[in-house]
Amino acid sequence: MPDRTATGAASARQLPYGSWPSPISAIDLVAGAALPTDVWAEGGSVWWSQTRPDQGGRIQLVRRDPDGAVHEDVLPDDFNARTAVHEMGGGAWWVHDGTVYAAKWSDQRLYRVERGGSPVPLTPEPDVPRGLRYADGRVTPDGRTVICVRETHPPEGGTELVRNEIVALPAVPAGELAEPSVLVSGYDFVTSPRISPDGRKLAWIAWQYPNMPWDSTVLWVADIEPLGESGGAQCRLVRPCPVASGRGESLVQPEWGPDGELYVVSDRNNWWNVYRITGLERLRPRMLPLHEVEAEVAVPPWLLGQSRYVVSPEGTVWYTYSAPDGAHLVRVTKDGNVADTALPLLRLEAMRLDGTTIRAIAAYAAQEPAVVSLALDAPGARRPPVTVLCPPRDPGLPDASISRPQRVSFPSARGRTAYGWLYLPRNADVTGPPDELPPLLVTIHGGPTSAADPAFRLATQYWTTRGFAVVDVDYGGSTGLGRGYRRLLDGAWGVVDVEDACAAATWLADEDLVDGGRLLIRGGSAGGFTVLTALATREVFAAGASHYGVADLAALARDTHKFEARYLDRLVGPLPAAAAVYAERSPLTHVDGFDRPLIVFQGGEDVIVPPAQAELIVEALAAKGVPHAYLLFPDEQHGFRRAENIVRAIEAEVSFYGQVFGFEPPGVDPVPITFGDQLPLTKPHEP
């Protein structure tokens, strides 16, 4: 059962929930924010990428020298290291022999950046602006050739004409830039080109529609044959061979060992675990599990270039997984000895091995993520000591005001058990009245093939320090609980997720942890779809917030980008056969059911969920006279990155809830609400 005590100090003054003065302002969410997103390491130096909302949401790279004396920005102020491959990005940069290779957001070309130098383009200017996109690359051991993913967008547009290929190009520009040579084509998607340590083999992942990479993929290997000293055709692949077929199996993150053995993460036994592939030299490959655990080593590859395990030059594999007691680091030696160690943090990601040290990003329960170093050879250490290389910013939040995540499980429809992370209101200076329960904010993660994340977020504390309870729901279909749980959403998107969201809210209300009359729901993208469906078809929630949420499933299938163009085949059904199901599941079909206040947020440049979807919902709310607010941010894509927009959005949302329930959030300007004269739904509590 949840700990019911995390609601404020006993000596604190009493104020109605939701109206607590918080030590966190909306500006605090972005001021000085520089969250790490990826890491690279070699020769004692460490590079990491940072999101910087106060610089327009761009991604900068930072380098730390071996002695730790120098922390400096790598890229000029006009360079945003972000790729648009798959529209989701990831794998936008990598390092070889101290030189950075990075994709630039504004033109999507690939650049070479030597220390102290300016970015030099490696790829030619495309005929279509941003029409050639690069990501997820590596450099051959001799330093001559870059091998990476390229996504080509034709002049005439259309997702069916977009090509995803693996290409090779010179790592050092010489004269006129040549067109990269194509090494792999023919599949709908290719990712993760990984070069063997001797430079003689390439491994990669491929898959075809209608699969997503967490459904069914294929692992390929081929020999690399050099082609000379100049020109764009640096090499070619010969004797390509599929070494793991992936029929109904998700294979992700291939990596090479020192002896030509290949490793990959597979979910063939329900959990994403690490496997060793032997017999490549005899063309009779076998996949053997290193050490099976009922936990996920990988995460769904929405982003390219993710890394949750590393292989040492001696053949020792280090991998990480998360459990209820936090992050684990597992060592599996070449002869099969296993050591599983719990670490004092929630999660490790972006793992890179540099000698006897792992560099990574660590997530915590009570502070923001940090770039860390784990010494694998520390004498006498029971577990590798964790050294913070780039400390997170200090939010100025006292420990007594931090709400820590509590793992909860609860009954849902048809005998299912669903899960979530619960955060109870907590403020060192304020507590709620003894005869009042807090409002609940049910948060729905995106994807929907993704997971609730218990890592510390100042945005979550923004709500809990104001007197809101928050539950982040791992509905059926979420990841982190095995392939079987992930498959619960097959054919059931808009059903299982909604049932579990409603079950979380009603269970917490039945447990007298929250006010059953003040249940709220919020979510973005796929989470926004669940928000809209729940409000249109159920009577559980009093109000909600949709952040760039899906309103019309058929329009999403028709208009979305290539990566997700067939995503709904499994979640809803293949078109045109399932057209009636698409219509029935779409919130727009149930506009008559919208009778609860709703605030809608949308990015004007969103190509994943275009603004038209948000506007159709807003029109329906206006036609019915339902209290609502609509905020369109013309300069945002899918997910808000600019500081001023992040601030405006969260202040508008808390203001909206305050007007709905009749309390005034301190320090927040009211958001204009259409048909606001029908509010509040409840009277403010009289202390």
Q: Which of 468-477, 555-564, 669-678 has the highest mean pLDDT?
A: 468-477
Q: Give strand ranges (E) for 376-499.
A: 386-390, 406-411, 417-423, 430-431, 440-444, 469-474
Distance CA 585, CA 502 (A): 16
Residue 400: what pLDDT? 95
For residue 246, name the pLDDT band (cuts at 50, 70, 90).
low
pLDDT digits (tens, 9 = 90+) for 367-392: 999 999 999 987 766 788 999 998 88
pLDDT score of 10 more than 50: yes
pLDDT score of 682 more than 80: no
* Axis crossing angle, helix 526-537 with helix 496-510, rounded to the nearest 10: 70
Q: Among 89-93, 266-270, 529-533, 590-594, where is mean pLDDT lowest? A: 590-594
Residue 596: what pLDDT? 93
pLDDT score of 655 more than 80: yes
Residue 629: what pLDDT? 94
- Own/partner contacts of 285-294, CB < 8 Å, gap of 24 or more, are 285/243, 285/244, 287/244, 290/263, 290/317, 290/319, 290/332, 291/330, 291/332, 291/338, 291/340, 293/321, 293/330, 293/340, 294/270, 294/482
pLDDT score of 228 more than 80: no
Average pLDDT over residues 236-256: 91
Distance CA 91, CA 69 (A): 27
Report the candidate in 658, 231, 313, 268 with the shortest Cα–Cα distance to residue 463.
658
pLDDT score of 240 more than 70: yes
pLDDT digits (tens, 9 = 90+) for 630-644: 999 988 887 787 888
Average pLDDT over residues 122-150: 96
Residue 137: what pLDDT? 98
Three-state secondary structure readout of 505-571: HHHHHHCCCCCCCCEEEEEECHHHHHHHHHHHHCCCCCEEEEECCCCCHHHHHHHCCHHHCCCHHHH
- The rounded percent of the chain whose pLDDT value lies above 90 is 73
Residue 380: what pLDDT? 65
Residue 270: what pLDDT? 96
Average pLDDT score over the chain: 91
| Comparison of pLDDT for 179 and 463, the residue scoring more | 463
Residue 6: what pLDDT? 59
pLDDT score of 686 more than 90: no
pLDDT score of 675 more than 80: no
Residue 610: what pLDDT? 82
Place of tokens 């340590």: 197
For residue 667, name the pLDDT band (cuts at 50, 70, 90).
confident
| Comparison of pLDDT for 559 and 305, the residue scoring more | 305
pLDDT score of 361 more than 70: yes
Q: Which two tokens stand for residue 322?
A: 């998360």
Q: Which two tokens stand for residue 658?
A: 């305050």
Residue 559: what pLDDT? 83
pLDDT score of 48 more than 90: yes
DSSP states of 557-620 as a string?
A: HHHS-GGGTTTHHHHT--TTTTHHHHHHHSGGGGGGG--S-EEEEEETT-SSS-HHHHHHHHHH
Element (H, E) at 45: strand 45-52
pLDDT digits (tens, 9 = 90+) for 172-222: 988 788 889 999 999 999 999 999 999 999 999 999 999 999 999 999 999
pLDDT score of 605 more than 90: no
Residue 11: what pLDDT? 65
Task: Give 214: exposed, middle or buried? Use CB within 10 Å, 0-12, 13-18, 19+.
Answer: buried
pLDDT score of 54 more than 70: yes
Distance CA 643, CA 664 (A): 24
Average pLDDT over residues 109-124: 95
Taking the complete model, does pTM exceed 0.85, yes or no? yes
Distance CA 662, CA 617 (A): 25
Q: Among 108-112, 594-598, 677-681, where is mean pLDDT lowest? A: 677-681
Residue 176: what pLDDT? 83
Beta bridge partners of 354: 357
Distance CA 655, CA 667 (A): 10
Domains annotated for the chain, with CATH where assigned, are 13-28+396-678 (3.40.50.1820), 75-298 (2.130.10.10)
Contact 130, 139 (CB under 8 A): no
Residue 687: what pLDDT? 32
- Give 342's DSSP letter: E
Contact 362, 341 (CB under 8 A): no
For residue 37, name the pLDDT band (cuts at 50, 70, 90).
very high
